[in-house]
Amino acid sequence: MLPVRSSSFITCAVTGSGDSTGISDQVPVSPDEIAASALEAAAAGAAVVHIHVRNTETGKGARDPKLYAQVVERIRESGVDVVINLTTGMGGDLVLGSPASPLPPNAAGTDMASVTDRLAHVAELRPEICSLDAGTMNFAAGGDYIMVNTPTMVRAMAQGIKDLGVKPEVEVFDTGDLVLLNELVGEGLIDNPALVQLCMGIPYGAPNDVLTLQAMVNNLPTGATFSAFSIGRFQLPYAALAPLMGGNVRVGLEDNLYLSRGQLATNGQLVARAKTLLEAMNVQVMTPAEVRDTLGLVKHA
């Protein structure tokens, strides 16, 4: 077991791509709203903001580089110091036809894109961090589709991110993803120390029990820095559990919409609550500058 952390950083996952806008009017949709919510999270104590964008008309997840540019430009122009982490997860969604006739795929729901397209906004905007999904899984949270990331795709994504000089945050959804992650580190496609996000409790990935989390921590690459989170009402317990396991914290509206039963949250409120919890545990909340120094990040803009 890794030592309990004396200091941890908070990542806020600002909006995600799930079908959550119909549940909560606090989920930001437009670039202005997403940027404002990210800045609210930074003011509350988040050192890192993890950003998706959404179609401004439908509210559904999008991967238009122009939308990312509007969000990132607003954050950078604000003068607020925060580490920007852009998703590359969009463009790997496969929706099959009916059980009786699975092929061809459902064109209305499938969104499969090339590595170049999935990294287009990263190449243009050069964030300090971008996500890298490490595996393929049945994804039932808010839909019925396959999140597709084959080993060849992941290797190509890792090489593309490395060439851009951006730090990948490897999103690990199950134990098998760690096998590939260790291979990527061994092949030099991901530099040591690796940055990892352990994503718990998402159907049908790793369950959010403590023993599974411990097993995943035990199989991280040597020296890796990791965060861990779970979804829904388990978000707050994981904000306390992650530092006890040697990790950092992620909260935000991508993973949980509520501050308490029936009370919708803002990103700022979720971050502030996590910060209060960490400080009550005598865990120092790291600043963006401390995160950059710890992770060796390059601030391109």
Please give the pLDDT value at position 144.
Answer: 82
What is d(CA 199, CA 205) in angstroms, rounded to the nearest whole number? 8
Which candidate, 91, 87, 62, 231, places its Cα nearest to that of 170? 87
Number of Cβ within a 10 Å radius of residue 214: 13
What is the CA angle 172-228-268, rounded to 5?
Answer: 120
Q: What is the pLDDT of residue 74?
A: 98
Q: Are 206 and 199 in contact (CB under 8 A)?
A: yes
Q: What is the model's pTM?
A: 0.95
Question: Residue 59: its pLDDT value, please?
Answer: 94
Secondary structure letter of residue 101 according to DSSP = -
| Residues near 16 by beta carbon (within 8 Å), at least 6 away in sequence | 52, 61, 252, 253, 254, 255
Please tell me the CATH code under which domain 9-295 is placed.
3.20.20.70
Mind listing the pLDDT tens digit for each residue in 2-47? 567 899 999 999 999 988 999 999 999 999 999 999 999 999 999 9
pLDDT given for residue 108 in this prediction: 84
**Looking at residue 141, what is its pLDDT?**
61
The residue type at 64: D
pLDDT < 70 positions in the chain: 1-3, 140-143, 301
Q: What residue segments make up the domains of the chain, in order of their start?
A: 9-295
Alpha helices in 81-174 (DSSP H): 115-118, 120-125, 151-164
Q: How far apart are CA 290 and CA 92, in angstroms?
A: 33
Report d(CA 59, CA 241) in Å as an integer.
32
